[in-house]
Amino acid sequence: MAKYKEDEQALYKLIKLRLYPDLEASKHKMTKWDCISHKDCVIMELKCRRTHYDTLRIEKIKYDALKKIAEQILYVPLYVNETKKGVYIFNLNEIKPVWTEQYNPINTSFGNGKMIKKVVYDIPITEAEMIFKKH
């Protein structure tokens, strides 16, 4: 299993253990969301970062898809990021993004470093709830 998948699986288990015992992983690999809690009415995207940043990037495509799905099923869309300093949860209903176009790798986890233009927002971690602090 690729390292990013192992990290994401560990993050999923942590959230299930600490916050949402009924958490279910998406059954489809190519969805715009990773897991869901029907009891607490939340749907979330998980990201594991190798480095800590004071802002955490979300792509507009993912933001829009997660917000749309959450709105359709009347759930709260959450964006969960793990860095070397902890785990941060953003309620996307409380975020007011200012989108910018930037060149970014097609993806960082699959080894494709080709740069393409993406519409992104760097969310300040001060807008998140830290649920787990690392030392």
109-129 pLDDT per residue, tens: 555 568 889 999 999 999 999
Looking at residue 109, its pLDDT comes to: 56
Q: In Å, what is the CA distance from 129 to each residue of 39, 106, 118?
A: 20, 28, 26
35, 24 in Cβ contact below 8 A?
yes
For residue 39, the tally of other CB atoms under 10 A from its CB is 10
pLDDT at 4 over 60: no
Q: Structure tokens of 123?
A: 């969310």
Q: Residues 62-95, buried b or exposed e (16+ Cβ, 10 A)? A: bbebbbebbeeeebebbbbbbbebbbbbbebeeb
Q: Report the pLDDT averaged over residues 77-91.
A: 96
What fold is seen in the domain 3-94+122-133? Trna Endonuclease; Chain: A, domain 1 (3.40.1350)
pLDDT band at 86 (very low <50, low <70, confident <90, very high): very high
**Residue indicated by tokens 């004071």:** 54
pTM for the model: 0.88
Looking at residue 28, its pLDDT comes to: 83
